[in-house]
Amino acid sequence: MKENALSIGLLWLRALAGAGIAHHGYGKIFGGQVTGLAEGVAQMGFPMPLAFAWAAALSEFAGGILLVLGLGTRYAAFFIFCTMSAAAFIHHRMDPLQVKELALAYWTIAGALILTGAGKFSVDGRGKCCG
């Protein structure tokens, strides 16, 4: 029973956080925001700002979808973790907590999913023994 409760909690966490992150990535990719993001990336001092902007947008969009599915969860969470690290600790470093709290929340969730994996109610967990 405890394993089911944990997996249900992970499913809930993945579904809600993944959908939210994917929504933000969707806006960047299909809403024409990548160029503006690249300007921000350049201001942070990253080389190849357009490439990093696309990597960030794709990690949010594709990574969020993968979290919802529970497919390649630890890998998707790792890329989201890296993206949110840059957002929270570099881009928003001087901002008050209420400005950076969403990036910190996604960073925390991604870090937890790196450690736990997707749980058994996921594509990753398919075929694992249910107790």
pLDDT tens sequence across 113-130: 999 999 999 999 885 644
**pTM, two decimal places:** 0.91
Task: Give 104's pLDDT tier (boundaries 50, 70, 90).
Answer: very high
Mean pLDDT over the full length of the chain = 94
Task: Give 106's pLDDT tier (boundaries 50, 70, 90).
Answer: very high
Question: What are the domain boundaries of the chain?
Answer: 7-116
The span from the CA of 107 to the CA of 101, in Å, is 10
The span from the CA of 124 to the CA of 8, in Å, is 14
The span from the CA of 47 to the CA of 27, in Å, is 23
pLDDT at 129: 45
